[in-house]
Amino acid sequence: MVRFTAHALIQMKARKVDKVDVIAVLKKPMETITTKANRLASYREAAGKCIVVIHEKEDKEDIIITVMRVDKRRLERLL
């Protein structure tokens, strides 16, 4: 199950990322790492850009905190 925070939904709209893209990242990420804030960052390349999903796991639920589109250079800085 996936739950989107209000912040995530606002950022998705602004960054033109839909729920289908987010779920695709979660189902088949290129990689998932733990961030400094002890959250998970999963990413996947799509159409020349990487979609990064910051999320937390709570029981069997993924809580989406925020979503962004980044180029490879910015992705390297994030990871």
Neighbours of 44 (CB within 10 A): 18
- pTM across the whole model: 0.88
pLDDT band at 73 (very low <50, low <70, confident <90, very high): confident
Is residue 40 within 8 Å of residue 32, measured between CB atoms? yes
Extents of the domains making up the chain: 2-78
Find the mean pLDDT for residues 61-75.
87
Fold exhibited by the domain 2-78: Transcriptional Co-activator pc4; Chain A (2.30.31)
Task: Give the pLDDT confidence of 3-43 residue by residue, as tens digits.
Answer: 999 999 999 999 999 999 999 999 999 999 888 888 999 99
Q: Tokens 């290129």 sit at which residue?
A: 30
pLDDT band at 65 (very low <50, low <70, confident <90, very high): very high
pLDDT attached to residue 48: 72
